[in-house]
Structure 1
Amino acid sequence: MASDDNFHFAQMGDRWWMTETAWFSFCIPERKMGGWFYNMIRPNIGTVSGGAWVWDDSATLPWEVPYSSNLTVMPLQEDADLNDITLRNGVSLKTLEPLKVYRIGYEDGDLLKADLCFEAVMPPRPLRKPGSAFGDLTHFDQFGRVTGKLHLHGEEIAVDCLAMRDRSWGPRPEHRPRKSAYVTGIASPDDCFLFVTKANELSEQLAYGFMIKDGEIGDLVEGMRRVERDPRTGFVERILIEGVDEYGRRLEAEGKKLSGITLIRHSFIDHNGLMEWSINGKTGHGEDQDMWPVHDWSRYRRETGRAG
């Protein structure tokens, strides 16, 4: 519904952790550069967090990448309308065509300016199965084409890519993190996938996802994510995704990481890799969000050892 572009505050009850999010990603593969604009709003306590990140293969720590701004407790303005808003984390959003076309802006002096347009290449796809890290959230995902310009440290950079956005609203408590992986890949509007692993499991089995193959979309009904990690850091370097959709069609995707950024998002770590994919034999790009509760990550690294 077109109303899903706006806030859902009236549906949220009075718990402090009721949350609304709006996330847009983009990439410039030839520069091994990825980026996010992420917004997390908690209406019951009146706060806005998030901001913008731009990274490449020069660094993975957020204080070393080309740009990182993750604000935590900015005030939410009164009568906020997500269809046309400049949030106090610096991100501006404007709906140009409901559920299809959006303008994304950002400005932080001479460090980063952005003027991008997201144009959907598929309808929003709602979360259809339980068991993911999104829990009881209402959530949908949508691939689109992102075009426009960045000004990064004075350099103008053109953006023209295929990438994912998502939206969610509902309970998102900070003190209950879940391990999961959120994996996207798109070679064309007719050949792409989303694969989300089961929450709090090491099995890497599918919780939910979808595949568009030869232009036809189908829910993934089974699948596995297998990863190869750098022994020095523990971070994912290569991925094999295998799955089957509701029509019996196979998904085979092999990915290698081009670059990545490590984010601490309250009580979990998210190492987000910009991936180059072979998706059923077709070349594309996307992301692998490898998410761990911080104490689980610490224990995993202690148990597996740290090389180098």
Structure 2
Amino acid sequence: MDNAVITHADTEFHTRDLTDKTWTETTVLIISVPEARIFGNAYVLARPNLGVTLSSVILAEGFCRQPYEVDFTDPQMHLPCPDSFSNYSLQNGLTVSSDGPRNYHMQYKNALGAASFDLTFEGLHEPFDPHDPNQNPLLELDRETANDSRKGNEWENGHFEVKGRIRGELELRGKTYQVESNEGMDHSWGPRPEVGTRSVSWVSINFGEDFAMHMAVPMRIERGQVFYDKIRFGYVVENGEVFGLIDGTIEAERVDMLAFSNHVTATDVRGRKHEFFGSAIAGHPWYTFNPSHVCYQSLFRYERGSAVGYGEMGDIFGLDYLAERMSRHGRLK
């Protein structure tokens, strides 16, 4: 993937070994209505060599510590895999179309009428590819820790990220919301056995066209406490230009594994430093995007001068990683 450039073709299924039954391609759109504290995701995980797809839609208002508090969850496994990954409809009511990695249109209608949305994503910049040394100054350092099981292999083969504007309408159990937010869209592809050893944080900070930032940061649990290591990769977008990060840190306070406040710092390739203190306005455990993992995700509010921004912070743990360190039989507890 050295010197890779993300093109229109990367929105589609990629050339692959057809005998590799673990080959996986994913895409996710983060959905939020900050003024109403509505927060969730539309996620698709396709295994074209097996002919199956998993799709998960989750939407919730405010903080939800228990599954029954979440307003809407629709996880569907073993849906037929579409022939195209840039223009398709699934049997759960989700339709996705894209004319390139910067632009997506997602529509969804739940069969029971509990939720629906019609959303467009308009990217603000050329996609960020963590495998491109011209975009990711931490690429060689990342390769030196390739055997770190916490990182997982979700981004080891192919991946791109885009920050953009999300516009449209969302209906949740009879109540309609207008969506005007800024967030990220991504696509990953490659072999992916699911062993539940991941431990990585996914941080997104968005202030519209002026500024956005993304960080992927490995985590560790020691004596029941979550700690964040140095950044794995990340970037900032300022007025449409992408600048890779060379350093970054996270600290967070949490309740029942959900982050309620954080302190994020980062330095980009220009030497510019960025610092944010965030307060969560919504959050929930997201178990339905992958049976072997959980993402404790929160929607954070940030300030940058007089501007207010929002973004997801998702702490992704393999269930085996958690069990080994926090269960009654955990050998590393």
SS for the counterpart of 1:15 is: coil
SS for the counterpart of 1:254 is: strand
The answer (yes or no) to whether the contact 2:258–2:284 under 8 Å persists in 1 is: no
The 2-side partners of 1:169 and 1:12 are apart by 12
Q: How far has the Cα of 1:56 moved from its partner?
A: 1.3
RMSD of aligned alpha carbons: 2.2
The 1-side partners of 2:84 and 2:20 are apart by 21
The 2-side partners of 1:280 and 1:296 are apart by 39
Give the match for residue 151 of structure 1: 171
Matched, 1:2 2:8: yes
The 1-side partners of 2:304 and 2:78 are apart by 40
Give the match for residue 72 of structure 1: 77
The answer (yes or no) to whether the contact 2:164–2:208 under 8 Å persists in 1 is: no
SS for the counterpart of 2:69 is: coil
Query: 1:238-284: CA deviations, max 9, x gaps?
Result: 11111211110101111111111212232222101111123577420
The 2-side partners of 1:124 and 1:23 are apart by 15
Matched, 1:16 2:15: no
TM-score of the pair, normalised by structure 2: 0.82
Moved more, 185-194 or 68-77: 68-77
Distance 1:51 1:135, change over 3 A: closer
Number of residue pairs matched by the alignment = 297
The 2-side partners of 1:14 and 1:136 are apart by 19
- Picking from 308, 315, 324, the partner of 1:283 is 308
The answer (yes or no) to whether the contact 2:62–2:283 under 8 Å persists in 1 is: yes
The answer (yes or no) to whether the contact 1:141–1:165 under 8 Å persists in 2 is: yes
Q: How far has the Cα of 1:286 moved from its partner?
A: 0.5
Give the match for residue 207 of structure 1: 232
What is the letter of the counterpart of residue 86 of structure 2? N
Give the match for residue 204 of structure 2: 184
The answer (yes or no) to whether the contact 1:191–1:279 under 8 Å persists in 2 is: no
Give the match for residue 270 of structure 1: 295
The 1-side partners of 2:100 and 2:301 are apart by 30
Matched, 1:52 2:57: yes
- Picking from 214, 234, 257, the partner of 2:257 is 234
SS for the counterpart of 2:108 is: strand
Query: 1:83-131: CA deviations, max 9, x gaps?
Result: 2210233321012x32222210011132111111111112211114335
The 1-side partners of 2:325 and 2:309 are apart by 31
The 2-side partners of 1:17 and 1:60 are apart by 32
Matched, 1:90 2:71: no
The 1-side partners of 2:126 and 2:65 are apart by 33
Matched, 1:100 2:102: yes
Matched, 1:121 2:124: yes
The answer (yes or no) to whether the contact 1:195–1:209 under 8 Å persists in 2 is: yes
- Picking from 314, 317, 321, the partner of 1:296 is 321
What is the letter of the counterpart of residue 95 of structure 2? S
The 2-side partners of 1:82 and 1:234 are apart by 34
- Picking from 23, 37, 40, the partner of 1:35 is 40
SS for the counterpart of 2:232 is: strand
The 2-side partners of 1:263 and 1:23 are apart by 13
The answer (yes or no) to whether the contact 2:59–2:72 under 8 Å persists in 1 is: yes
The answer (yes or no) to whether the contact 1:122–1:189 under 8 Å persists in 2 is: no
List alignment gaps of at least 5 residues for structure 2.
1-6, 132-138, 146-150, 222-226, 329-333
Distance 1:58 1:241, change over 3 A: closer
Give the match for residue 306 of structure 1: none
User: Identity of paired residues, percent?
Assistant: 23
The 1-side partners of 2:324 and 2:85 are apart by 40
Query: 1:274-301: CA deviations, max 9, x gaps?
Result: 1112357742001011112224334555
Query: 1:164-187: CA deviations, max 9, x gaps?
Result: 111011022111431000000101
Distance 1:280 1:71, change over 3 A: farther
Distance 1:27 1:15, change over 3 A: same
The answer (yes or no) to whether the contact 2:196–2:320 under 8 Å persists in 1 is: no
The 2-side partners of 1:124 and 1:105 are apart by 23
Distance 1:279 1:300, change over 3 A: farther
The 2-side partners of 1:259 and 1:199 are apart by 21
What is the letter of the counterpart of residue 25 of structure 1? I
The 2-side partners of 1:154 and 1:145 are apart by 25
The 2-side partners of 1:237 and 1:299 are apart by 25
